[in-house]
Structure 1
Amino acid sequence: MKLTIYYDGQFYIGLIENISENKYKAYRYVFGNEPKDHEVLDFVNKNLFDFIKNDKHGGIPIKQDKVKKINPKRLQRKVAKELKKPSISTKAEEALKAEFEIRKKEKSVTSKRLKEERKEYIRNIKVQKSKNKHKGR
């Protein structure tokens, strides 16, 4: 599990990347304005596990390669290189986009239904007004 906190121009966002059961899952948590160290620590200690446990989406399946023993110096160089590059990985972006698309579809279905109900309501009001006019009220 990996937590990366970055600034997106407006808010500080925590990106949680988790690999479990051969599936890659990414979660996005908005901290708001610049979080203090103790706020991040409280989130990690108290809320992080519940945040991940309440997940509805399956994640992206991954195939795991055999883990090869790596030279410690090479590992150190790799870590330094990773710290220099931007924080969001492409897999995390894909997972977040997939989750966003699912939510977008759910939202569009409900918004279409609400629009149709509103149109029907307005139509009923117009019909009622015309009936009242016809009756001379």
Structure 2
Amino acid sequence: MRKSEVSSTLTVYHDGQFWVGVVEHVENGMLSVARLVFGAEPSNEEVYTWVLERWTSLRLSAEAEPVGPRVGRLPGNPKRRAREAAKAMRQHGSSTASQLALARERERSKEESRSERAARGREEARVRWEKRHEKRRHRHRGK
């Protein structure tokens, strides 16, 4: 039986306008991400309630990124590492891999909506042409 490693992280930060949460889900070395907007600053209880009630309905990115192997302990002072990690989170919000995955997910959804919009436009044009054609046939029948 093969052992699989699963880990999920929710990072909440202020992006200048809204409070945003980024979920990073690593399963078998592949990273999937999701971004959610809280709006006003959520309290710890609100975040905890959100995780309990809505975690299962979370839509993670379809495209997964490979993540390097997890190294056990990082060298150096743990307090300094925590301080530097907190500083990086305040500046960037989330990891670079998750930012790239979110950008790809945005591009994919943009492409999907563009193709759906084009198909809808073609269908509407076809319906308009059929109505015009039917109206023309109806006039020529003399009624």
TM over 0.5: yes
Give TM-score scaled by structure 2 length: 0.75
RMSD: 2.5
Matches within 5 A, 1:77-116: 77-85=80-88, 86=91, 87-116=93-122
Unaligned 5+ runs, structure 2: 1-7
Q: Which runs of 4+ in 1 moved over 4 A?
A: none
Q: From the superposition, tell whether residues 30 and 16 of structure 1 become closer, same or farther in structure 2 (CA, over 3 Å).
A: same
Q: From the superposition, tell whether residues 65 and 11 of structure 1 become closer, same or farther in structure 2 (CA, over 3 Å).
A: closer
Unaligned 5+ runs, structure 1: none
Give TM-score scaled by structure 1 length: 0.77
The sequence identity of aligned pairs, in percent, is: 25
What is the distance in 2 between the residues matched to 1:25 and 1:58?
Answer: 7
What is the distance in 2 between the residues matched to 1:68 and 1:35?
Answer: 32
Matches within 5 A, 1:48-67: 48=55, 50-52=56-58, 55=60, 57-64=62-69, 66-67=71-72
1:2-54 CA-partner distances (Å, limit 9, x unpaired): 22112334432211122221112221122233323321110123322x145x6
Instruction: State the shift of 1:122 in Å.
Output: 0.9
What is the distance in 2 between the residues matched to 1:56 and 1:94?
Answer: 11
Number of equivalences: 133
